[in-house]
Structure 1
Amino acid sequence: MQLNADQVRQFEEEGWLFLPEAFTPEEVAVLAREAEAIYAANRPEIWREKSGAPRTAFAAHTFNEAFRLLGAHPRLIGPVEQLFGEQLYMHQFKINAKAAFTGDVWQWHQDYGTWARDDGMPEPRAMNIAVFLDEVMPINGPLMLIPRSQRHGTLDAGHDTSTTSYPLWTLDDAVVTKLVAEGGIVAPTGKPGGVLLFHGNLVHGSAPNITPYPRKIVYLTLNAVSNHIRKPTRAEWIAHQDFTPIAPVADGALTDYARAYRQAAE
């Protein structure tokens, strides 16, 4: 899949781009089922909220076939290769949850700030590309983005290790207030199967989910091979150290897997 000129222009100017329903209901259904099974497992890759609800599951593409296929899917790899002009490797892979009633906040932050400070990534030539597994609504903790905030480069941040169960390099309120005054806030919403791309320095966060509607989002952190990390400090399943270029699977690979999965269950 390739982006058209208007889509490339929006990404370059605004720092984000949403592609609705890029994956079919059949493809998303198998991913959603597999995600729930992963959350129920007792593995070090699974982080939980202070309440015990799942918060994120790392590296599912290394131990689950459906997510392996998603991690090499041409509908995700193609647009990012187009924007970066080179091959990619998987820096990080995670399935983030906002459990009904208990999904906690993700504070305002830039992803590249963490990748630079904790992993030794040289430049912001990596980005998150997100796949909605549930409907993301204005009410169930959607990701909030500050358009054009990537133009400010990598901002000063403090290491918050206490607000939530996951440590994060976060921005202070004054900085966020200034950025919002310039760019506003958008919160892309959509049906399962939607795909969101956003720049590594785009400031973003999300509010808690106090509704009965859970939302799961898969995040692939795709990094240009030439920009591989130099000084990793985190576990390999959080910040991968295999810099082999991703070889995309066939476009129908996930559909084939979903159909085989369904037939086996019947």
Structure 2
Amino acid sequence: MKLTPQQLEQFDREGYLFFPGLFTREETKVLNDAVPELYARREAYNVREKGSDAVRTNFAAHLYSEPFARLARHPRMVQPVVELFGEDVYMHQFKINGKMAFEGDVWQWHQDYGTWLNDDMMPTERAMNVAIFLDDVNEFNGPLMFIPGSHKRGVVDAKHDLSTTSYPLWVVNNELVSKLVERAGGKEGGIVSPQGPAGSMILFHSCLVHASSSNLSPWNRVSVYLSLCAVSNHIRRHKRPEYIAHRDFAPIACLPDDCLLKDYPVDLPWKNGMPASALATSPEPLDQIKEAA
């Protein structure tokens, strides 16, 4: 899938691109059917909502689930990011976020690169988010909200919030959010919220400030979030477990476009269980660890 000059200009200006219904209902069903079994597992890679059994985030499904391993190599998702970076990419993070009916909690205003910089020592913002809707997304079930053009500010000041929700996040303060929204147009477009059918896809810049509200509706809003990073920009620290911040920096090799509907063979290194090494962490930069060794 090649981006048009107009799409490239829009991405540069606004920091995101929206592709409604990019994946068919049949393709999306293959993924959706695999989610309940993944969410039922009692593993460290399933982070649950505070005070609830509902899964907030499932990490690293591409390492132990065939449908999601094929999605991780899908050309419709990978090729536009390679085009934008002009370089091969690897999978920095793979999440299935469950904004479940009545229980899905907020994600505060934040930049993803803020976390990748502060926790993982990712050198620059040459990393991209790809969101794929597994459910229809509407105004009521906690859709993503973006501040268009906020990526142009680069990395902004953020506070490490360890208490508001069940997942720690480097969050942007309300005063700065208000200024960014006003600059982007205030009530006339200062916040946008792409909504559409299951199978829709969003590409958004790692410095784009975004958030989502709680889901008080009776409809689930499950989405896959894949964070693709330029190979030369790989992380320099393993402060977080491997199931959160991946350590395999090999370029992604795409499968054919029909890979969600055919059983192409894929490697599943964690199929028989997550290795103990995936929980090991170190606060030291990788180059210091190598020097000490």
Query: TM-score band, normalised by the shorter chain?
Result: over 0.9
Report what 1:58 is aligned to: 59
Gaps of 5+ in 2: 185-189, 265-293
Report what 2:220 is aligned to: 214
Give the helix-richer structure, 1 or 2.
1
Report what 2:240 is aligned to: 234
* Structure 1 counterpart SS, 2:18: strand
Report what 2:28 is aligned to: 28
Q: Does 1:248 align with 2:254?
A: yes
* Structure 2 counterpart SS, 1:23: coil
Quote the Cα distance in structure 2 between the aligned partners of 1:180 and 1:127.
22
Report what 2:143 is aligned to: 142
Equivalent positions of 1:177-196 (< 5 A) are 177-183=178-184, 184-196=190-202
Equivalent positions of 1:76-225 (< 5 A) are 76-183=77-184, 184-225=190-231
Code of the residue aligned with 1:109 in structure 2: it is: H
* Structure 2 counterpart SS, 1:256: coil
Report what 1:16 is aligned to: 16
Deviation at residue 43 of structure 1 after TM alignment:
1.3
Deviations 1:202-246 (Å, cap 9, x if unpaired)?
Answer: 000000000101110101100000000012200011000110000
Q: Does 1:38 align with 2:35?
A: no
Quote the Cα distance in structure 2 between the aligned partners of 1:215 and 1:36.
13
Deviation at residue 253 of structure 1 after TM alignment:
1.3
Root mean square deviation of aligned Cα? 0.9
Code of the residue aligned with 1:245 in structure 2: it is: P
Identity of aligned residues (%): 55
Query: Which TM-score applies when normalising by structure 1?
Result: 0.96
Quote the Cα distance in structure 1 between the aligned partners of 2:71 and 2:9.
26
Deviation at residue 6 of structure 1 after TM alignment:
0.9
Quote the Cα distance in structure 1 between the aligned partners of 2:19 and 2:12.
15
Report what 1:263 is aligned to: none
Q: How many residue pairs get matched?
A: 258
Deviations 1:84-104 (Å, cap 9, x if unpaired)?
Answer: 000000000000011100100
Deviation at residue 44 of structure 1 after TM alignment:
1.0
Quote the Cα distance in structure 1 between the aligned partners of 2:196 and 2:263.
24
* Structure 1 counterpart SS, 2:237: coil
Larger Rg: 2
Moved over 2 A (4+): none
Query: Which TM-score applies when normalising by structure 2?
Result: 0.87
Deviations 1:4-57 (Å, cap 9, x if unpaired)?
Answer: 111111111100000111111111001011112111111110000012211000
Quote the Cα distance in structure 1 between the aligned partners of 2:55 and 2:247.
25
Deviation at residue 255 of structure 1 after TM alignment:
1.4
Code of the residue aligned with 1:225 in structure 2: it is: V
Gaps of 5+ in 1: 259-266
* Structure 2 counterpart SS, 1:255: coil
Code of the residue aligned with 1:131 in structure 2: it is: I
Deviations 1:45-96 (Å, cap 9, x if unpaired)?
Answer: 0000012211000000000000000001000000000000000000000000
Quote the Cα distance in structure 2 between the aligned partners of 1:173 and 1:257.
47
